[in-house]
C-alpha cells in the first residue's frame, strides 16, 4: 500500500501555542525595554500597551479571516480570495522576506551573545550561527511533531525565567522610578511605539498549520488568543517591574537591561541572562523555520513550482526547508554582525501583510459591526507604524 504524501495532523493546542510564543518572544524583549525607556522614559509602558492593543486587533482579524479561508501556509489562499492572485503573491513574498531575514536576525543575535561570553573568533561564531539553522531545518525535515515538542520545551525554558524575574523584582519597586512619567516629546513617544512593535511580531506563526492540527479552526483561534494573552502579560508585567525596580535612566544606559535587573538578585546576572537569551532565540529560530517553510510550500503549490511544493512521506516540505536553510545562511555570510539592519528589514516587510490581514477581515465580515471596528483599528494602527518607520529618520 502506498501512503499519499501530504501534511499529517500531528499537533495540538499546546504545540500551536508554543510555536506562536516561540516566534513572538525572542530577542526583542531582551533589548527593546532599554531602548524604549531611553526614548520615552517610564511612559514607554504606554507604548507597550498600545502595541498590545494593535497586535490584538491584527490577531483577531487573522483568526476571523482564516476561519473563512483555512489552509496550511494561510496567507496566499486568504489574500488571493480577497484581493486577487497578484496582490497575494506580493504580500506572501514580503512575508517570506520578513521571515528569512527574521531567522538570520535571530541567528545573528545568538552570535552576539556568544561574542559577549568572550569568544571573539568571527568565523567560528558565523559557523555556529549557520550550524544552528541547519540543525533546526533537519529537525523540521524529520517532522513537525518533533519540532513542536522541542518548541514546547524551549518555550517553557525561556518564559519561566521572565515571569520569575518580574515577580522577584516586585520587592525592589520604587514609586519615584516612575517620575517624571512623560519626559519625552510626542514624536519620541511615537518613535517608541515603532520600536516596541518589533517585539510583538511572529504571533501569526500559530495560524500556519491548520492542515497539521488536530481540532481544526477552533484550536487555531484559541491558540492565537492564548499566544497574544501570554505575550502581553509577560511584556507589560516585565516592563513594569524593570522600570519600577531599576529606573528608566539605568535601564536606558544598560546594553543588557534584563541582566542589569537580575543584578539586583544574582551576582552572575550576565551569564544567566545570556543563557536565557540564547534559549529564547533558539526557540524563535525553530518556530520561524517551521512557519516559513509552510508558507513557502503553500505558495509553491498554488503557483505550481513542482520541486518546492513536494512533501515527504512524513509530511515535511523537504525542498522548501532546504531553500530556507540556504537563503538564511547566505544572508548570514553578508550580515552576520549587522543585527539592527536585519531586524529592521524583517519588521518593515511584515507590516504590510499585517495591514492586509486586517483589510481581509474587514471585507469578508463587512456586515459584522464588531469585526469591522476591530479590523479598522488594526489596519489604521499598523499603517501608522509603517508610515512612521519611514518618517522617523528625517527628524
Domains along the chain? 13-394 (1.20.1740.10)
Give the contacts of 263 (CB within 8 A, at least 6 positions apart): 269
Condensed to tens digits (0 to 9), the pLDDT of residues 87-116 reads 999 999 999 999 998 888 888 888 877 877
In this predicted structure, the answer to whether residue 302 has a pLDDT above a threshold of 70 is yes
CA–CA dist 151, 285 (Å, integer): 10
Tell me the pLDDT band of 71, cut-offs 50, 70 and 90: low
Residue with cell 545562511: 329
Q: What pLDDT, on a 0 to 100 scale, did the predictor assign at position 395? A: 63
In this predicted structure, the answer to whether residue 3 has a pLDDT above a threshold of 60 is no
Cell of 215: 481540532
Give the contacts of 184 (CB within 8 A, at least 6 positions apart): 39, 40, 41, 43, 192
Condensed to tens digits (0 to 9), the pLDDT of residues 320-364 reads 999 999 999 998 888 766 666 667 777 888 999 999 999 999 999
Tell me the pLDDT band of 380, cut-offs 50, 70 and 90: very high
In this predicted structure, the answer to whether residue 51 has a pLDDT above a threshold of 90 is yes
Q: What pLDDT, on a 0 to 100 scale, did the predictor assign at position 393? A: 67
Arithmetic mean of pLDDT over the chain? 86
The pTM (predicted TM-score) of the whole model is 0.90
Amino acid at each position: 500500500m502506498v501512503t499519499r504524501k501530504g501534511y499529517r495532523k500531528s499537533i495540538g493546542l499546546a504545540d500551536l501555542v508554543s510555536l506562536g510564543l516561540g516566534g513572538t518572544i525572542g530577542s526583542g524583549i531582551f533589548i527593546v525595554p532599554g531602548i524604549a525607556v531611553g526614548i520615552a522614559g517610564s511612559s514607554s509602558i504606554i507604548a507597550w500597551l498600545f502595541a498590545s492593543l494593535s497586535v490584538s486587533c491584527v490577531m483577531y482579524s487573522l483568526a476571523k479571516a482564516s476561519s473563512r479561508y483555512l489552509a496550511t501556509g494561510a496567507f496566499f489562499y486568504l489574500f488571493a480570495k480577497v484581493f486577487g492572485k497578484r496582490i497575494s503573491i506580493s504580500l506572501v513574498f514580503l512575508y517570506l522576506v520578513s521571515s528569512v531575514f527574521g531567522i538570520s536576525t535571530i541567528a545573528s543575535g545568538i552570535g552576539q551573545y556568544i561574542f559577549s561570553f568572550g569568544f571573539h573568533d568571527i568565523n567560528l561564531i558565523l559557523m555556529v550561527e549557520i550550524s544552528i539553522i541547519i540543525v533546526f531545518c533537519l529537525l523540521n525535515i524529520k517532522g513537525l511533531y518533533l519540532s513542536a515538542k522541542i518548541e514546547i520545551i524551549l518555550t517553557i525554558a525561556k518564559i519561566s525565567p521572565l515571569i520569575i524575574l518580574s515577580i522577584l523584582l516586585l520587592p525592589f519597586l520604587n514609586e519615584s522610578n516612575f517620575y517624571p512619567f512623560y519626559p519625552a516629546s510626542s514624536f519620541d513617544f511615537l518613535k517608541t511605539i515603532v520600536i516596541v512593535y518589533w517585539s510583538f511580531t511572529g504571533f501569526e506563526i500559530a495560524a500556519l498549520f491548520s492542515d497539521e492540527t488536530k481540532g481544526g479552526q477552533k484550536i487555531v483561534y484559541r491558540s492565537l488568543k492564548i499566544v497574544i494573552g501570554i505575550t502581553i502579560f509577560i511584556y507589560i508585567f516585565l516592563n513594569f517591574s524593570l522600570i519600577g525596580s531599576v529606573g528608566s535612566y539605568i535601564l536606558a544606559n544598560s546594553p543588557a537591561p534584563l541582566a542589569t535587573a537580575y543584578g539586583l538578585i544574582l551576582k552572575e546576572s550576565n551569564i544567566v541572562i545570556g543563557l536565557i537569551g540564547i534559549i529564547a532565540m533558539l526557540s524563535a529560530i525553530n518556530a520561524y523555520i517551521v512557519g516559513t517553510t509552510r508558507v513557502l510550500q503553500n505558495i509553491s503549490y498554488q503557483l505550481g513550482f513542482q520541486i518546492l511544493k513536494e512533501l515527504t512521506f512524513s509530511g515535511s516540505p523537504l525542498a522548501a526547508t532546504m531553500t530556507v536553510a540556504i537563503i538564511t545562511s547566505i544572508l548570514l555570510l553578508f550580515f552576520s554582525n549587522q543585527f539592527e539592519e536585519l531586524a529592521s528589514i524583517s519588521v518593515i516587510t511584515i507590516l504590510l501583510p499585517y495591514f492586509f490581514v486586517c483589510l481581509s477581515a474587514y471585507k469578508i465580515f463587512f456586515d459584522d459591526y464588531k469585526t469591522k471596528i476591530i479590523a479598522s483599528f488594526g489596519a489604521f494602527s499598523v499603517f501608522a507604524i509603517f508610515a512612521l518607520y519611514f518618517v522617523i529618520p528625517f527628524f
